[in-house]
Chain A
Amino acid sequence: VMLPLKDKDKPVVQKLLSAGCCARCVLRFCCVRVQAAYRRPQQEILKDLQDFLHGPEKNQCDVSTDNKSCDPVVSEAAADPPSKRAKLETDLSDDGQAEAAAAAAAAIITETHCVCVVCLGVLQEFSDTDQAVKTEKYEFDSLVLSVSLPAQLCVREHSCWLHVKKEVREKSPLLDKEDIVPLKEAYKWLVQSTISTELGGVFSPLEVAVEFSHNPTDSDCECHLYQQTILHKNKCKCWAFMSVCRHYSCPPTQPSSSCVLQGIQCLHQSVFIAGRYNKFCRSLPQTPWLIDGERRMESSVEELIAAPVLSAFRANGFNFSSSGREDVDVRTLGNGRPFAMELLNPHRARLNVQDMKQLQESINVSSDKIRVRDLQIVSREAMGRMKEGEEEKTKTYTALIWTRKPIKKEDIAFISDIKELTLDQKTPLRVLHRRALAVRQRVVHSMNTRFLDAHHFHLELKTQAGTYVKEFVHGDFGRTKPNLCDLLKMDTDILELDVESVDVDWPPSIQE
C-alpha cells in the first residue's frame, strides 16, 4: 500500500510526528481519505511515513513498499481489510510467530508506545470495540456506529492544527482545518470495518454506541481556547497563533494516559412479529395482573407467548399489543385473536419461515392454556393494520346466561329475531377507572339462543367490536340500555363468556 502523500506534505508529516502525533492522526491531518490506509497496523503506517520522509529511494516508493511486503507478517496485515478475520485466525493458529513479529515491529518503532497528543489514544487502542459486539453474539446485517469523545479533544486538535499551520504557512497552500479527516470519522473507518467483516451481512442495522473519556484533561474544557473552538468552529482563521499560546500549549503536551473506553452500547433495531392466539383458560389474564404491585395470577397470555419468542430472537424485552383483549375469565376460541409484538434489541433478527414454524410449535408445546397460529415476522408499518380496523370489525361470542326466574325454551326464542340492536353503553364501571366516561353506541348484529335448563341458556352474539358483552347481559346498574334484563324482563347474569371469533383479516393466515 502506498500512502497517498505528496512532497508538500513532508513538512507537515515531519512536524506532526515530532509533536507526538500518532500515525493515523498524521494521515488525518494530511487529509488522507483512503479508508484502507487507516486500517493497517499503526506500526506499518508509521514505518511508511518514516520511509516517506527519509526513504533513500525517493522515486521508487512503490518498490520499497513492495520490498517490505515480503515480510510475511506485514504482507498479511497490509492486505485488504476483509482479511482481518484471516489475520486473527492466523494469529491464533500461529501464535509464536505473530508474537515474535510484533515484538520486532515494536522494537523498530518505539514511538507507538506513546499516547498520541491529539487523539489521546482513540485511534491507537480500539480493539475492545469489536470484542464487545462479539461477546453479545449479535447477528446483524449492517452497523450504525456512534462515537462519543471527550469534548476537550477539539482543543488538542486545534492546537495541533495551529502548530502545523505556522510551520507550513510559507511553504504550502493554506492547510484548511475543514479538510482534516475528523477523528470520529477515522475511528469509524477503523472499527466499523472490523466488526462488519467479523460478522457479515447487509440488512438489519445494529447500532453501536462507543463512549470514551479522559478525566486527566477534562479541565481543558474550561480553557479559553476551548470556548473559542466551540464558538468559532469553522472560522478559526481569525485568531492568531500567539494568542493561542498564551492560553494553551502548542503543540499539545504529551499525555500520560490514553482515553478510557467508558462503555459500548449495542442496540439492534426492533423486530416485529404477529400471529393469532387462543386462550383456553378462565384464570389467565392477557397481561400480567398487578394490584398494589402484587401479582394476582401466576402467568399471562403475553408472558406465555413471549418466553419462547424472546429466547429465539435473544431479545431484551418486548411490547405486546393485540386486537382488543379479553377478560381474565374469558376464553378466546376459534381462529384466535390477532396480536403483534415488538421485540426489543434482538440479538438474532432473521428467522426464516421454518424457524418461525418451529418457534410457534415451541410456544404451543410449552402450555396448554394458550395456542398460537399464523406466527410471522412483520414490518412496523403492518402492525398498524391490526389497530386501524378495530372499531368496524365484528366479533362473535358465546355467553352462558343465568336467569333469576325460571324460563322455558319458548320464552327466549324471540331473542333470535332481534337484529341490529343498537345499545347505549356508558363506560362500564369495571373499566371506568382507566377510560373516559362516555356513552358509546354499539350494535349487536344478531343473537341466537340455546336453551339449557330452567335457569340457563347459551347466548350467541355477533357484535360490533367494542361492545361490552358482560354489561349487555347484566346491565351494569342500568348503565347499558337496552340490556338482556330489559329484553327478558327479569334479572340475568353472565356466568361464562367465550370469544368465538375476532374478525380481523390481519395478520395473513399461514397454511399449516
Chain B
Amino acid sequence: MEDSKQTGTEDNVPSVIDRYFTRWYRADLKGKPCEDHCVLQHSNRICVVTLAETHPILQNGRTIKSINYQISDGCSRLKNKVSGKSKRGGQFLTDFAPLCRITCTDETEYTIYSCIRGRLLEVNERILETPSLLLEKPSTEGYIAVILPKFEESKSITENLLSREEFENIVSKRRVAESQSS
C-alpha cells in the first residue's frame, strides 16, 4: 500500500473490491443469453450480488423504467428484516431465488437471481429512487442485495460459480462467436 503513493493512476490502485472481495460469476442465467450475474464475496464470507458488466441491462444505452423487489404476490424482498448478530428472520435464499425484476424503458424485463444459497441481509433500496446508480456503478453503489451464506457453506457456495478468469473466457468466446455471426 505504501508504494501506491508514487503510482496513483487508477489502474494501479487496487480498488476496495480488489482488496477485500473475490469476484464470482454466473453466465447466461437460466439459459438466457448474456444475463450474467456477479457475486462479490468478502473475506468474511458476506456476498454482494450485482449485475455483471455484460448484463443486457447495462448494454446499448438502456434506461431503467422500474425495479420491483416484490417477486411474487406473497413475497417482497423489501419486507426482509434481520435482527441481532445472528441475523435472525432473514429470508433464506437458494441459488435460483429471484431477488428482483427490472423493467427497462424498452419494456424488456429481467429477473435478477440470488446465485448462491444464504440468508438475505438487505436489498439496495437506493436503486429504487435512483435507478441510474445501477447503470453507472453496477458493481458498487448499484448492488442488488447482500447475502450471508451459512458458515459451513461459505466455501462450497462458490463451487458452482465461475471464477473471474473462467467468466472472462466465456465473454471473449462470446465476442468471437458474435463477430463470426455478424
Contacts and interface: CB of A to CB of B under 8 A. Distances in A.
Interface residues of A, number: 29
A477 B82 contact: no
Contact of A433 (B9, B44, B48, B82): B44
Given A329-B1, A436-B83, A474-B16, A402 B8 contact: yes
A112 B43 CA distance: 70
Contacts of B137: 478
B5 interface: yes
Interface string B1-40: 1101100111001011000100000000000000000000
A269 to B, nearest CB: 31
Contact of B48 (A402, A437, A477, A495): A477
A432 B44 contact: yes
Contacts of B15: 493
A477 B48 CA distance: 9
A445 interface: no
Q: Which of A400, A402, A475 has the most CB of B within 10 A?
A: A402
A225 to B, nearest CB: 53
Interface stretch (B102-110, B138-146, B161-169, B172-180): B138-146
Contacts of A455: 8-9
Q: Which of B45, B48, B82, B141 has the most CB of A within 10 A?
A: B141
Interface string A467-492: 00000001111100000000000000
B16 A493 contact: yes
Contact of A478 (B5, B9, B84, B141): B141
A456 interface: yes
Interface in B96-121: 121
Nearest to B155: A292
Interface in A262-288: 282
B26 to A, nearest CB: 20
A385 B82 CA distance: 32
Nearest to B127: A478
Nearest to A470: B16
A282 B8 contact: no
A496 B5 CA distance: 10
Contacts of A453: 8
Nearest to B151: A433
B140 A430 contact: no
Given A477-B141, A478-B133, A432 B121 contact: yes
Contacts, number: 72
B93 interface: no
B133 to A, nearest CB: 7
A454 B8 contact: yes
A433 B140 contact: no
Contacts of A329: 1
A426 B126 CA distance: 13
B140 A437 contact: no
A432 B146 contact: yes
A436 B85 contact: yes
A413 interface: no
A410 B140 CA distance: 28
B44 A400 contact: no
Contacts of B143: 477-478
B57 interface: no
A478 B42 contact: no
Contact of A402 (B4, B85, B133): B4
Contact of A434 (B42, B85, B122): B85
A307 interface: no
B118 to A, nearest CB: 11
Contacts of A432: 44, 46, 121, 146, 148
Interface of A: 282, 291, 329, 400, 402, 404, 426, 429-437, 452-456, 474-478, 493, 495-496
6 contacts: A329-B1, A437-B122, A455-B9, A475-B141, A477-B141, A496-B2
Given A429-B42, A433-B42, A495-B1, 19 more contacts: A329-B1, A404-B10, A429-B46, A432-B121, A433-B44, A434-B85, A437-B82, A437-B122, A452-B5, A455-B9, A456-B8, A475-B141, A477-B124, A477-B140, A478-B124, A478-B143, A493-B15, A495-B13, A496-B1
Which 9 pairs between the two chains have the least Cβ-Cβ distance?
A: A478-B141, A455-B8, A433-B44, A474-B16, A477-B143, A477-B140, A436-B84, A437-B82, A436-B85
